[in-house]
Structure 1
Amino acid sequence: MITYIYWIFVLALAGGTLYLLGVKLKQWIPAAVVSGVILVVCASFYYFYLQQMFVKRWGGTMSLSVPEGMQHVAATWKDDNMWIENYDPKTNTCYFQEYSRGAMLEGKVVIKNCNPVRR
């Protein structure tokens, strides 16, 4: 829900800027430039900073997919970054991967001869 509130605010801010500068002051080129800058800055801020924080702290929504041929084992948080553990039964290897803000500086741990699902 917090994610929707954020994007409604961003669209209202960009639309309000477009309306005030474009319609009221008849300055369409500056209005389009400023509105575009607002959208790019707010989208970057969300992607690189707010997304995982919203999910962890305020109940936002985030989707991840398990890679083809792997089995999901566990997920945990370290600060504001999510760590996912997946198991590849073909190679008997576990992959513990970090999903950081903006997909930058993500860590990865490979555990060979791993068998998390004992039968």
Structure 2
Amino acid sequence: MVTYLYWFIVLALVCGALFGIGVRLGKWQPAVILAVVIAVVGSAAYYFWLQQIFVKRYGGVMSITIPQGLQHIGATWKGDNLWIEDYNPKTNECIFREYSRGDLLQGRVVLKNCHPLGVSRPTPEAN
């Protein structure tokens, strides 16, 4: 809900700039420039700063796709960054991926010989 409210406010500011400066004062060039600046700054602020804060603290909306061939195990917050744990059954690895603000800095930790789902290693049969 907070995410939708944020975008409503950004849209209202853009429309307000176009209506207030463009229609009322008849100065379309500054109105369009200001509207574009508000839209760009609002989008950048959301994707690089506010998205995860809204989701974690206020119940915002965010979607993440798990890569093909991996099995999702869990997710946790560390600070304002989301860490996702997946399991790759082909390589027997657990992969922790950090989903940071704006997708700029992403940590990755790979655990080798990981058996998170209770899968035991096959034992050689005795003859």
* TM-score normalised per structure 1: 0.98
CA deviation after TM superposition for structure 1 residue 66, in Å:
1.2
In the TM superposition, residue 105 of structure 1 has moved relative to its aligned partner by 1.2
**Matched pairs, number:** 119
- In structure 1, what residue type is equivalent to 2:20? L
- Aligned residue in 2 for 1:76: 76
Letter in 1 for 2:9: F
Which one has the largest radius of gyration?
A: 2
RMSD value, Cα: 0.7
Structure 1 position 52, deviation (Å): 0.3
Percent same amino acid at aligned positions? Answer: 57
Note the residue ranges of structure 2 that are not aligned, 5 or more in a row.
120-127
Hey, what's the Cα distance between the residues in 2 that align with 1:49 and 1:33?
A: 23
Q: Which residue identity does 1:40 align to in structure 2?
A: V
SS at match of 2:22: helix
Structure 2 CA distance for aligned equivalents of residues 9 and 23 of structure 1: 20
> Could you say which residue in structure 2 is the equivalent of 1:113?
113
Shift of 1:61: 1.0
Q: Deviations over 1:57-115 (max 9, x none)?
A: 00011111111011001100001000000000000011100000001111000111111
Name the counterpart of 1:21. Answer: 21
Aligned pairs for 1:45-56 within 5 A: 45-56=45-56
2:93 maps to a residue whose letter is: T
Runs of 4+ in 1 over 6 A off after TM superposition: none
What SS does structure 1 have at the residue aligned with 2:116?
A: coil
CA distance in 2: counterparts of 1:105 and 1:8, whole angstroms: 29
Structure 1: which 5+ residue stretches go unaligned?
none
- Equivalents in 2 of 1:96, 1:84: separation in Å? 6
